[in-house]
Amino acid sequence: MIETQSLGKTYGRGLYALRDLNLKVDRGEFAFLTGPSGAGKSTLLRLLLLEESPTEGEVLVAGRNLSHLTRDEIQAYRRTVGFVFQDFKLIPTKTIFENVSFVQRVLGRPVEEQRRNTYQVLKWVGLQHRLNALPQELSGGEQQRVAIARALVNEPHLVLADEPTGNLDPDLSLEIMNLFRDMNARGTTVLVATHDRELIKWVGRRVIQLDHGQMVGAAEPQA
């Protein structure tokens, strides 16, 4: 599903964020991306979301090289990927229902379908009773569940998450991880960047370890 070939990203003069990175995440896999701060986890996710372009090498997602996409193609590609951010990135002036239904709306889906899908996905994350609340009226865990609902509403084949539990307490973190496990069980490829070792241990999936922009280890699922 995801493949990087000799991927490199530098900032300024020779400051490597990623260096000669070759990794693969298979279709339907759930993998963690881990490493200390500055290891290059977020940079890799930014490259996968095309927020930035690589300095060297290639990124392929579902067999498609992301290097030569036009501005409109980038937007179309992003609509096929679900993304969950540490700081939730919800639109504060829209209700949670609108935050989620918006990504359906821009696909031009019929209104009835938008409503049905939005309701179903918010029900799946357990927020069907807060449809008209504004993001700031929700707890951190609830806001992250809205963000997950938004990432999933278009039924993407790939979900990327950058420190999705970084702002949450341990119990809420487990709750969020359960949602990722559930979506993976439905066939979605999931790549989660986190430095929370306990969480990784608890979920027990493949771990890709980065340090100073290079892959320094890959551990198979733990029990």
The residues of the shown chain that bind another protein, judged by CB under 8 A, are 49, 51, 71-72, 75-81, 83, 85, 89-93, 102-103, 105-106, 108, 150
The greatest distance separating any two alpha carbons of the chain, rounded to the nearest whole angstrom, comes to: 52
Question: Measured from the CB of residue 14, what is the shortest distance to another protein in angstroms?
Answer: 27
Question: Measured from the CB of residue 170, what is the shortest distance to another protein in angstroms?
Answer: 27
* Residue among 107 and 185 whose Cβ is closer to another protein: 107
* Residue among 149 and 207 whose Cβ is closer to another protein: 149
- 223: DSSP letter: -
Tokens of 128: 């069907």
Please spell the DSSP secondary structure of 127-146, one letter per residue.
-TT-TT--GGGS-HHHHHHH
* Residue among 63 and 92 whose Cβ is closer to another protein: 92
* Residue among 1 and 81 whose Cβ is closer to another protein: 81
CA distances to 92, 95, 135 from 138, rounded to whole Å, are 11, 11, 5
Question: Measured from the CB of residue 142, what is the shortest distance to another protein in angstroms?
Answer: 18
Give residues with Cβ within 8 angstroms of 133, minimum separation 6: 95, 96
CA distance 164 to 148: 9
Question: Measured from the CB of residue 22, what is the shortest distance to another protein in angstroms?
Answer: 26
Question: Measured from the CB of residue 39, what is the shortest distance to another protein in angstroms?
Answer: 22
* Residue among 103 and 176 whose Cβ is closer to another protein: 103
Give residues with Cβ within 8 angstroms of 31, minimum separation 6: 25, 190, 191, 192, 205, 206, 207, 208
